[in-house]
Structure 1
Amino acid sequence: MTVHAPGPGHRPRAAVAMSPDAASAVLDPQSLAAFRRVCDLAPFPVLDDLTTARARSVLADVELLITGWGCPPLDADVLRAAPLLRAVVHTAGSVRGHVTDACWERGVEVSSAAAANALPVAEYTLGMILLSGKRVLERARDFRAARTRGNWLRTPRGVGNYHRTVGILSASLIGRRVVELLRPHDVRVLLHDPYVDEAEAAGLGVESVSLPELFARCDTVSVHTPLLPTTRGLVSRPLIDAMPADAVLINTSRGAVIDQEALTDAVLAGRIRAVLDVTDPEALPPDHPLWDCEHALITPHLAGSEGNEWRRLADLALAETTRWAAGSGFLHPVRRERLAFLA
Structure 2
Amino acid sequence: MTQHRTKPKLLIAMRDELPEGFFGEDEWARLNAVTDIIPGFPFTDFDSPAGAKALEKADILLAAWGTPSLTKERLSRAPKLKMLAYAASSVRVVAPKEFWDTSDILVTTAASAMALPVAEFTYAAIILSGKDMFRLRDEHRAERGTGGFGSRRGMNQPWLGNHRRKVGIVGASRIGRLVIDLLKSGTFDIAVYDPYLSADEAAALGATKMELHPLLAWSDVVSLHAPILPETHHMIGARELALMPDHAIFINTARGWLVDHAALLSGAQSGRLRILIDTPEPEPLPVDSPFYDLPNVVLTPHIAGALGNELRALADVAITEIERFVAGLSPLYPVHKQDMERMA
TM-score by length of 1: 0.94
1:186 CA displacement: 0.7
Percent sequence identity is 36
Contact 2:10 2:62 in 1 (8 A): yes
**3-state secondary structure, aligned to 1:245:** coil
Residue of structure 1 in register with 2:34 after alignment: 38
Residue of structure 2 in register with 1:3 after alignment: none
Cα distance in 1 between the residues matched to 2:58 and 2:155: 67
Matched, 1:165 2:162: no
1:144 CA displacement: 2.4
Residue of structure 2 in register with 1:303 after alignment: 304
User: 24, 30, 36: which one pairs with 1:28?
Assistant: 24
Matched, 1:237 2:238: yes
The CA deviation string for residues 252-284 of structure 1, in whole angstroms up to 9 with x for no partner, is 111121111111111111110100001111111
Cα distance in 2 between the residues matched to 1:208 and 1:111: 30
Residue of structure 1 in register with 2:131 after alignment: 134
Greater Cα offset, 117-126 or 59-68: 59-68
Cα distance in 2 between the residues matched to 1:254 and 1:101: 21
Residue of structure 1 in register with 2:314 after alignment: 313
Matched, 1:67 2:63: yes
1:102 CA displacement: 4.6
Q: Which runs of 5+ in 2 are unaligned?
A: none
Cα distance in 2 between the residues matched to 1:281 and 1:62: 36
TM-score by length of 2: 0.93
- Aligned-residue CA RMSD (Å): 1.6
Cα distance in 2 between the residues matched to 1:283 and 1:103: 29
Cα distance in 1 between the residues matched to 2:98 and 2:8: 21
1:302 CA displacement: 0.5
Residue of structure 2 in register with 1:188 after alignment: 189
1:99 CA displacement: 1.1
**3-state secondary structure, aligned to 1:300:** coil
Cα distance in 2 between the residues matched to 1:211 and 1:161: 22
The CA deviation string for residues 161-191 of structure 1, in whole angstroms up to 9 with x for no partner, is 0100001000111111111111101101100
Q: Which amino acid aligns with 1:139?
A: L
Residue of structure 2 in register with 1:175 after alignment: 176
Contact 1:165 1:188 in 2 (8 A): yes
Residue of structure 2 in register with 1:271 after alignment: 272
Q: Which amino acid aligns with 2:45?
A: D
| 1:194-205 pair list within 5 angstroms | 194-205=195-206
Residue of structure 1 in register with 2:334 after alignment: 333
Q: Which amino acid aligns with 1:171?
A: A
Matched, 1:48 2:49: no
Larger RCO, structure (CA 8 Å, separation 6 or more): 1
1:151 CA displacement: 6.5
Contact 2:13 2:41 in 1 (8 A): no
**3-state secondary structure, aligned to 1:81:** coil
1:74 CA displacement: 1.1
Matched, 1:120 2:120: no
Contact 1:22 1:70 in 2 (8 A): no
Q: Which amino acid aligns with 1:67?
A: A
CA 1:241/1:157 → structure 2, altered by over 3 Å: closer, same or farther? Answer: same
CA 1:296/1:48 → structure 2, altered by over 3 Å: closer, same or farther? Answer: same
Residues paired across the two proteins, number:
335
Residue of structure 1 in register with 2:84 after alignment: 88
Q: Which runs of 5+ in 1 are unaligned?
A: 1-8
